[in-house]
Amino acid sequence: MTTIIFNGKKYRHQTNETVLDTLLKADIQIPNGCREGVCQSCLMRSLDAVPPSLSQKGLKESLQLQKFFLACRCNPEQDMAVALPEHELANITAIVSHKEALSVDIMRFVLSFQEPFQFFAGQFVNLTRFDGLTRSYSIANLPGQDNILEFHIKRLPFGRFSSWAHNDLKPGTALKVSEAKGSCHYLLGKSGQPMLLIGTGSGLAPLAGIINDALSNNHQAPIKLYHGSSEPKGLYLVDEMRSLAKTYHNFDYNPCVSLAKATDSFKQGRAHDVALADTPNLSGWRVYLCGHPEMVQQSKMSAYLKGASLNDIYADAFYTTPG
């Protein structure tokens, strides 16, 4: 007999039960549907033990690495602490240590922690200010960099959090930070798979992290980045990306502007249109899409139709929250 720990309480787990059985028997409401591992509505995460392989069958590799599993298929042979995806860890406090403008409407913020913070470059966290106002932002830096997280926050029209961050958030201010979430990050062991990354606006933030992660891990296959903006002034990190392209022969940087004629500095057109025209056959490619929801949705379908497997398409749509 083993023990399942959920929300700090222990529950006895019988050998013929799944984690879902054990928790439902204890009157704990866990989302579930087919109970056959197909609908994946009972997705949970282990906070300690590695889940049995059967319980991770059908999940993206990025989720498997983060110890996500299907509760209806999980019969652990050892004690396991588990959590629902949205209730994994309590928020922790970080201090704003740096702030600088990257473009006319995008600001870089660096948050510092007293203890190491676990994440993959490209994931996102929820940032919460003093009054509880919370927004999600993607991580732009690599792990292991002096216990910091870097974010690129775009000022949105009528955006309460983004306007406050640009105008009033200063170094020394404390913010609450959730655990890192999301499957949009680099996968180790896939150095031979070509990568196409398409982003708009501050969608470059997670893509920059993913690219640096790939290059620092000696990724061998081609890496193509297409970053788009409606106007040239909306592009940012241009010098940094060009420097990477000069240093790494397999990295190709393509800034795109939709409302201006092409120059030596950028290509004309929407980033996803240019990218998909340049690479018409995406069979075997891994595709990352970050930024405007409409771009992400259109590109996801187009990439699939051009041969990319759905399991190789990682999307992070930046939805805006009213008010």
The answer for 234, left when phi > 0, alpha when psi is -120 to 50, beta otherwise, is alpha
Contact in structure between 45 and 56 (CB atoms under 8 Å): no
Give me the number of domains the chain comprises.
3
On whether both 232 and 284 belong to a single domain, the answer is yes
For residue 89, what pLDDT is reported?
A: 53
For residue 134, what pLDDT is reported?
A: 87
For residue 319, what pLDDT is reported?
A: 82
Tokens linked to 297? 């949705």
On whether both 150 and 200 belong to a single domain, the answer is no
**Domain assignment present for 184:** no
CA–CA distance, 219 with 223 (Å, rounded to integer): 9
On whether both 79 and 96 belong to a single domain, the answer is no
Distances from the Cα of 73 to the Cα of 59, 93, 100, 271, angstroms: 12, 35, 47, 41
Strand ranges (DSSP E) for 116-186? 124-128, 134-138, 148-154, 174-177
pTM: 0.76
- Give average pLDDT by consecutive 10-residue segment, the chain, 323 residues: 94 95 94 80 92 92 91 96 75 94 97 91 91 92 90 93 97 93 90 98 97 97 97 95 98 95 88 97 98 95 97 90 60
Q: Which of 294, 315, 292 is nearest to 197 (CA)?
A: 315
| Domain membership of residue 14 as a residue range | 2-87
**Domain assignment present for 104:** yes
CATH number reported for the structural domain that contains residue 119 in this entry:
2.40.30.10
On whether both 231 and 250 belong to a single domain, the answer is yes
The residue from 87, 122, 150 where one domain ends is 87
The residue from 87, 114, 145 where one domain ends is 87
For residue 52, what pLDDT is reported?
A: 96
The DSSP 8-state label assigned to residue 142 in this structure reads -
On whether both 120 and 220 belong to a single domain, the answer is no
CA–CA distance, 295 with 289 (Å, rounded to integer): 8
On whether both 63 and 139 belong to a single domain, the answer is no
For residue 169, what pLDDT is reported?
A: 97
**Domain assignment present for 190:** no
On whether both 199 and 102 belong to a single domain, the answer is no
Distances from the Cα of 200 to the Cα of 120, 235, 274, 281, 321, angstroms: 21, 9, 13, 22, 18
On whether both 214 and 297 belong to a single domain, the answer is yes
- The rounded radius of gyration (Å) of the Cα atoms in the chain is 21
